[in-house]
Amino acid sequence: MQLFKHQPIKIYNSLSGTKETFKPINEGYVGMYVCGPTVYSNVHLGNVRTFMSFDMIFRYLKHVGYKVRYVRNITDAGHLENDADAGEDKITKKARLEQIEPMEIVQRYTVDFHNILNTFNFLPPSIEPTATGHIIEQIELIKDILNNGFAYQVNGSVYFDVHKFNETHDYGILSKRKLEDLIHNTRELDGQGDKKNPQDFALWKKAEPQHIMRWPSPWGDGFPGWHLECTAMSTKYLGDQFDIHGGGMDLKFPHHECEIAQNEAAKGQSPVNYWMHANMLELNGQRMSKSTGNTVNPDELLSGNNKFFSKAFAPSVIRFFMAQAHYRSVLDLTDDGLIASEKGFFRLMDAINLLDGLKASETSSVDINTWKQKCYDAMNDDFNSPILIANLFEAAKYINQVKEGSETLTKEDAALLKTTLHAFLFDVLGLENVTKKESGQDKLSGAVNVLIKLRQEARANKDFAMSDKIRDELAEAGILLKDGKEGTTFSLL
């Protein structure tokens, strides 16, 4: 189904600062690259939000029929903590602290990353390349950049010559910075060492003898610069020029700026047509930061084992909460916010679960096709999931109204409503119907139905003491009874 032919998508392009109609290089195919995590510690929720935004975008592009190659890398090469010549890289530092091999650190936190993402129902990317697996490609790139005169070699290291590059190209085109401003505003850093100018960045760094993560190169043993791996891996799998490159807002400068510069220097063309940047996640109005303690891990949020939140939240509730904000807005994670989202989420799910039991009518009093297009319009407008969700709540209202008898649906419209809702909730937003199991044919539901029947009998006999006892004690056990015109149903929590 090539829905995309009728559903033109607009994407906010950070490069132009405007929303542009998305036109892939090859019709029907999309190449998308997203900067993945550096695996030196547990993923934090900010990472999760960024990757979740792109997971949703990946899902929607697939939903409208694009064949998407989604590449998200793992940074495992161990870059320096700062651009100075001295100092350990993050992975080595962690390895020393934990007294294990750097590659053990990489393995441990890569596994953690995958576990967390699976818990949140992420789709795996099409390709998940690692920096250490692409050293040769990175070395080749450096050779190209050197040959084209945009880099220089000093003491076993190779640096990108930003000033030289800026003479013929525009360094700062993405982040809207001017090189001269950067020159004036660069802080005094220690150990700028071999660099001709502080704005230059490393393509290859010489490894000191104690440096464990090292590879041979034409310039001696060393390791690649941070910005280089993304250029190497994105172009290897997506071509010298590809459709979408995403990442967190904080990577815009210098990381993405440097990627553009590297690609132009090596291959003579700008690599990416649409740059997308996801905004930051805050915790109680403050930036999440390990140093100030204003941080919470995904598993702490899921388990409720933390000092910021009053209870545990299901992965889908957190997903839903995040989808209620636009990916380009700052989102503040709060207890109240999550609780409000949780209630809304379950209301939505309860409505979905009513769909199969609805009575069909001869005519429909609501226009499902118009509603459906509004859902697409929302996502087509730079993936506006909050608007989409507003429309999904409208659908939930229809469903409840049909159940009440104030609106009607034909069998066909009910089916269309159902497939559309499922597509957006589960395929696009990646949510999971956490109440589905309970309302199904399982043993719990059989047992609860027996109690519901007993309660009905008690009520028929006006034995309200007994009927209320059943209801209240079930409630205490976390099972909520809901009396309706068509009988009693229940839900958990």
Partner RNA sequence: GGUGUCGUGGCCGAGUGGCUAGGCUCAGCUCUGCAAAAGCUGCUACAGCGGUUCGAAUCCGCUCGACACCUCCA
The count of residues interacting with RNA (CB under 7 A) is 88
Binding flag, residue 308, RNA (CB under 7 A):
no
Task: Name residues whose C-beta falls within 8 Å of residue 239's C-beta, 6 or more positions apart in sequence.
Answer: 25, 31
The conformation of residue 10, written as its DSSP 8-state character, comes to E
Least distance to RNA, CB of residue 215, Å:
19
- By beta-carbon proximity to RNA, the closer residue of 187 and 311 is 187
Measured distance CA(32)–CA(253) in Å, rounded: 19
Burial class (CB in 10 A: 0-12, 13-18, 19+), 110: middle
Exactly one of 59, 69, 72, 90 binds RNA (CB under 7 A); that residue is 90
Exactly one of 82, 147, 269, 310 binds RNA (CB under 7 A); that residue is 82
Least distance to RNA, CB of residue 61, Å:
19
Extract long-range pairs of 294-298: CB within 8 Å, 24+ residues apart.
Answer: 295/44, 296/44, 296/45, 296/333, 297/42, 297/44, 297/45, 298/42, 298/43, 298/44, 298/45, 298/48, 298/116, 298/119, 298/120
Exactly one of 155, 305, 310, 329 binds RNA (CB under 7 A); that residue is 329
Exactly one of 27, 190, 250, 473 binds RNA (CB under 7 A); that residue is 250
Exactly one of 286, 305, 310, 369 binds RNA (CB under 7 A); that residue is 286
Regarding beta strands 201-206 and 157-160, do their DSSP bridges make them parallel or antiparallel, or are they unpaired? antiparallel
Exactly one of 173, 280, 423, 444 binds RNA (CB under 7 A); that residue is 280
End-to-end CA distance of the chain: 39
Q: And the tokens for 419?
A: 């497939």
Q: Among 101-109, 208-216, 280-288, 415-423, which window interacts with RNA (CB under 7 A)? A: 280-288
Binding flag, residue 310, RNA (CB under 7 A):
no
Least distance to RNA, CB of residue 89, Å:
9
Measured distance CA(319)–CA(45) in Å, rounded: 11
- By beta-carbon proximity to RNA, the closer residue of 389 and 421 is 389
Q: Supply the DSSP string of 326-361, one letter for each residue.
A: -TTS-EEE-HHHHHHHHHHHHHHHHHHHHGGGPPP-
CA angle 48, 51, 55 (to 5 degrees): 125
Give the footprint of RNA on residues 363-422 (CB under 7 A): 382, 384, 386-387, 389-390, 393-394, 396-397, 400-401, 403-404, 406
Q: What character string, x for contact with RNA (CB under 7 A) and - otherwise, covers 190-229?
A: --------x---------------------------x---
Binding flag, residue 340, RNA (CB under 7 A):
yes
Least distance to RNA, CB of residue 256, Å:
9
Least distance to RNA, CB of residue 66, Å:
22
Exactly one of 13, 50, 73, 408 binds RNA (CB under 7 A); that residue is 50
Exactly one of 27, 98, 190, 468 binds RNA (CB under 7 A); that residue is 468
- Residue whose structure tokens are 């034995």: 463
C-alpha closest to that of 330 among 285, 289, 281: 281
Q: Among 116-124, 273-281, 363-371, 426-434, which window interacts with RNA (CB under 7 A)? A: 273-281
Q: Among 58-66, 162-170, 182-190, 209-217, which window interacts with RNA (CB under 7 A)? A: 182-190
Q: Where do the DSSP E strands lie in 145-221?
A: 151-154, 157-160, 201-206
Q: Among 24-32, 184-192, 268-276, 302-310, which window interacts with RNA (CB under 7 A)? A: 184-192
Measured distance CA(459)–CA(461) in Å, rounded: 5
Least distance to RNA, CB of residue 424, Å:
13
